[in-house]
Amino acid sequence: GRFPVKAVAETLGVARSNLIERLQGKTKPRRRYQKVQDAAVVPRITALVSARPTYGYRRITAILNRQLRSEGLAPVNHKRVYR
């Protein structure tokens, strides 16, 4: 129904623009982090790290993402690699 977006935004303590975008379905709500997705890349990361012990998580992420992209898979976030 009709409700004042301003009042709702103030009550929830969020920005009006955020509410309006949510209502129009522009932004998808964040999903919880799932450990299962880590398991898929852990063996690849360990293989890369053992081959290059001096590389940090950022360089490892770059190499990993290059491999994944060449196989047509989605790249992984650097935070996932860091974990």
Reply yes or no on whether the pLDDT at 35 is more than 70: no
pTM: 0.48
Quote the CA–CA distance of 22 and 28 in Å, as a whole number. 8
pLDDT of residue 36: 67
pLDDT of residue 10: 81
Domain positions in the chain? 1-30, 36-82
Convert 16-38 to b/e letters by CB count within 10 Å (16 or more is b).
eeeeeeeeeeeeeeeeeeeeeee
Render pLDDT for 47-64 as a digit per residue (tens, 0 to 9): 888 888 888 878 888 888
